[in-house]
Structure 1
Amino acid sequence: MQKNVSQKFSRRTIFITLFAALALIAAVVFFARPTTSEAAEVPALQTAKVRTGDLVVTASGAGTVVPAAQVDLAFRSSGVVAELNAAIGDSVQNQQVLARLEENIQAEADFQALFTAEGVAQAQLALIAAQDALVTAQNDVIYLIGSDAWYWQGQLEKPEATQAEKDLAQSKLDYFMGLRYIDESDIALARANLESARVALQDAQAALDIVQAGPEALSKPIAALGPEMAKLESARVALENTRLVAPFDGELTAVNTVLGQTVGTSSVMTIATTENLLVRFYLDETDLDKVAVGNRVSFTLDAYPNQPVDGEVVIVEPALQTIDGTPVVVVWASLPADTELNLMSGMTVEAEVIAGEARGALIVPVQALRELAPGSYAVFLVGENDQLAMTPVTVGLRDFANAEILSGVKAGDVVSTGTVETK
């Protein structure tokens, strides 16, 4: 009996031990196998198809509508405003007199007197006096050097003389000058007086030509050779200092004075062109490579949010400016002259520069590009069984998401967009 009990106990022990071993093996197998989430951690190959589409590269900014030309006008001397000939919003013509000071009355009278019969007669008398002074100066030189030397000096000074003729004249001049004892200081003074007389004659002749031609001939600054031209220029300056004249056709956008007010030389009027309006806008400096003269620009005005208009870049300023602490590119662009919108200077504008457009192009995500060297790229074509083949490509336009491929792939090709190491 004791033997049977011992045998049963032994069998039971073996059974329990075997069961525990099997359970342990099962547990090891269960916990050792990968879970679904662990299997998902194995990276799958990311791909994209080469597609045909449009790619537009843009740069956005903001700015305002500005006139093509705008000028602040100010008197050049202080005085009392005696005349205002235009108000804010008036259209004015080039050279139209917009305002005058009280002093302008006398300045205008003095200026116009230059072109009267009496003024012309005075200019003629000045010319005759200059001619007489020249003859006197010539005679003084002849008295010192002699008529023969004077003759050969004249031959030497002829602009059309040949070199041989100049050599002969110089030889003769030296000979006849050597026959006389001449004090060097006397001849130097006489010749200086002669040159001054010649300049004075030119001055008097030019002044006579101007007064005979009329006021239009004295509408711009002149070079004063001598006293006669200086007198004309002085009259012109006195007139200009006491009146405001429109420098071009435009519209008065500001008038900062009234009749009877004493003014200085600060701005009293502003004139701006009303045609050929421009947009001055700013781009981030990172977009500098996306803007150039001739680029198309799409504008959206706050006043007309649903009516965009197209323009063209006409100026990219050569230096960055700082706006609110940020470096920006300053761009000027034209607006269409035939738009039906009522455009006004000062309007707020959003601008989108079209840096480049590709229509019907082969396009891949930028993640597919592998830079082999600066400006040189390749993609990995995906073949059967996910085999990768590196293929050089030519890249055209690109933005932050897509790139235009000019050569190297065709529509429908599958490219890898994952990270592939190449050595």
Structure 2
Amino acid sequence: MPKSDSRPDLTQVLQASRAPRRRWPWAIALLAVALTSWLWLRPEAAPTTLRYDTTPVTRGDLTVTVIATGTVQPTTRVDISSELSGTLAAVMVDYNDEVSEGQILARLDSTNLQSRLTTAEAQLAAAAGRLIQAEASATEAAETWASTAALDQRGLAVRSTVIAAKAANDRAAASVAIAKADLQLAEASLEEAKTDLAKADIRSPISGIVLNRAAEKGMIVAATLNAPVLFTLAEDLSRMQLQVDIDEADIGRVAVGNAANFSVDAYPGRSFPAQITQLRYAPEETDGVVTYKAVLTVQNDDLLLRPGMTATATITVAREPGVLLVPMAALRYAPPISDGAGRSGGGLLGLIMPSGRGSSRGKADGSSIYVLRAGAPEKITITAGASDGKMIAVSAATLAEGDQVITGQSDR
């Protein structure tokens, strides 16, 4: 009896390995049919509705302002130094003292200056004497020359005598001119000595108040290009100025004559009036930020404001009374624009995508707003006016007070 072969038939093995693989295409096809049937037969989803955020149109006064910060300063501020070098012999004023124009604030030691004045007076007297002497010699020389010239005309004078007389007369005239110049020089030296002696008294150039005093008795003062400031004076603190920095984005809206109100930390809750009197063209740059200096006049009759106080000013740049007002957000709103990619688009992708997902937000250009009427947005073309950053003045033929302008929307 032949021996049976225990190895499996190769054909049976191959058929066994292929059998499971033939079922996968049918399984995938059945899954696709089932999914398509479910999407086609499923209940229609509830349509998405929009909820509009609205704000009523109001009528009122619009005030446009610009905020700026700066410091309170005296209208006139003077730093006083000494024109001469020397030692301070006396200091006559102190902080907060009121001074008048020409009043002595301090005095330098004038011993050397007095000696220079005495020397100058003596030099002037000597120069005056030399002039008298020169004039006398000139008179004598002129007489001699006249006599010699007369004899020379009659042929009775020796030629050498004539020449000597003429030279003596010329030298005498020159001596007089030199003596006069020396006299003028002596007079100038005397005036200089008197002026320097007067400058030993350091006087106030204005009437005002002493803000700062660095001078002390015995202090040595060196009159150089960088002479130390001995006193700082302010003129009439009852009328001061506020210097503020206007941002370059706001400088075009600000003008001379604009009214303003400002506050300082020393008096919280209190407002002080001011008015712009100067807008400077020179730019000032700090950390890449460009600003321009504005100067405002301030009345300080009660002397509450002090130099150097930090102030925050609110400058009124425009007023529009009785205008229609809407929020700035209304100019940035535009309703959605549908692109048609809904359920009606056909195909499997159209079935899978929910209705309304293909819509996009429209673009607002600031020339129109949308008013909610009969539950739908209605576009209204407007003319925009001034804005304070939150509200804007608008005008339109079909816009009235109380209309509900749309500022936003949300799905519901």
TM-score by length of 2: 0.57
Contact 2:117–2:190 at 8 Å: present in 1 too?
A: no
Q: Within the alignment, does 1:78 sit opposite 2:85 as a pair?
A: yes
Change (3 A) 1:30 1:63: farther
2:389 to 383, 400, 405: 400
The 5-angstrom pairing of residues 248-259 of structure 1 reads 248-259=206-217
Cα contact 2:84–2:196 (8 A) shared by 1: no
The offset of 1:294, in angstroms, is: 1.8
Q: Check 1:39–1:386 CA distance in 2 against 1; reply closer, same or farther (3 A cut).
A: closer
- 2:270 partner letter: Q
Structure-1 separation of matches of 2:83 and 2:231? 13
| Structure with the higher fraction of residues in strand conformation | 2
Answer yes or no: is the 8 Å Cα contact 2:331–2:366 preserved in 1: no
The letter of the residue matching 2:324 is: L
**2:326 match:** 364
Q: 1:388 to 1:251 in 2, by over 3 A?
A: same
- In structure 2, relative to structure 1, the CA distance for the partners of 1:289 and 1:236 (3 Å cut) is farther
Give 1:67 deviation, angstroms.
1.2
Change (3 A) 1:39 1:387: closer
Cα RMSD, aligned residues only: 4.4
Q: 233, 236, 252: which one pairs with 1:289?
A: 252
Shift of 1:303: 1.0
Q: Residue 303 of structure 1 corresponds to which residue in structure 2?
A: 266
Flag the 1:229–1:294 CA change in 2: closer, same or farther, 3 A. Answer: farther
Amino acid across the alignment from 1:34: A
Q: Summarize the Cα distance change of 1:331–1:81 in structure 2 as closer, same or farther, 3 Å threshold.
A: same
- Of 375-384 and 298-307, deviating more is 375-384
Please name the residue that 2:218 is paired with: 260
Whose radius of gyration is greater, 1 or 2? Answer: 2
C-alpha offsets along residues 245-266 of structure 1, whole Å, 9 cap, x if unaligned? Answer: 2111111122212222211132
Q: Does 1:34 align with 2:38?
A: no
Residue-by-residue CA offset, 1:168-208 (whole Å, 9 max, x unaligned):
xxxxxxxxxxxxxxxxxxxxxxxxxxxxx9xx9xxx9xxxx
Q: Point out where structure 1 has 5 or more consecutive residues left out of the alignment.
A: 1-22, 130-196, 205-225
8 Å contact 2:100–2:204 — kept in the other structure?
Answer: yes
Distance change (3 Å), C-alpha of 1:68 and 1:341: closer
Aligned sequence identity (%): 27
Q: Identify if the C-alpha distance between structure 1 residues 353 and 84 changes in structure 2 by more than 3 Å, giving closer, same or farther.
A: same
- CA shift for structure 1 position 104: 7.8
Query: In structure 2, the residue corresponding to 1:306 is in which secondary structure?
Result: coil
| Residue of structure 2 equivalent to 1:278 | 241
Summarize deviations over 1:78-120 as a string: whole Å, max 9, x none.
Answer: 1011232211221101121212212388469959x99xxx99x
- Contact map agreement 1:107 1:238 (CA 8 A) in 2: no
Cα 1:303–1:253 change in 2 (3 A) is: same
Higher helix proportion: 1
CA pair 104-67 structure 1, distance change in 2 beyond 3 A: farther
CA distance in 2, matches of 1:87, 1:73: 14
- Deviation string, structure 1 residues 144-173 (Cα, Å, up to 9, x no partner): xxxxxxxxxxxxxxxxxxxxxxxxxxxxxx
Structure 1 position 65, deviation (Å): 1.9
Asked whether the equivalents of residues 108 and 239 of structure 1 are also in contact (C-alpha less than 8 Å), the reply is no
* Contact 1:55 1:357 (8 Å CA) reproduced: yes
Give the CA deviation at 1:418: 6.5
Task: Quickly say closer, same or farther: Cα 1:320–1:229, change in 2 above 3 A.
Answer: farther
Provide the secondary structure at the position in 1 that maps to 2:192: helix
Q: TM-score, length-normalised on structure 1?
A: 0.55
Aligned counterpart for 1:345 among listed residues 297, 307, 318: 307
Partner of 1:173: none
> Counterpart of 2:282 in structure 1: which amino acid?
A
Task: Indicate how the Cα distance of structure 1 residues 402 and 257 shifts in structure 2: closer, same or farther if over 3 A, else same.
Answer: same
Q: How far 1:324 moved relative to its partner?
A: 5.0
Q: Is residue 104–residue 243 contact of structure 1 (8 Å, CA) maintained in 2? A: no
Say whether residues 1:332 and 2:295 are aligned partners. Answer: yes
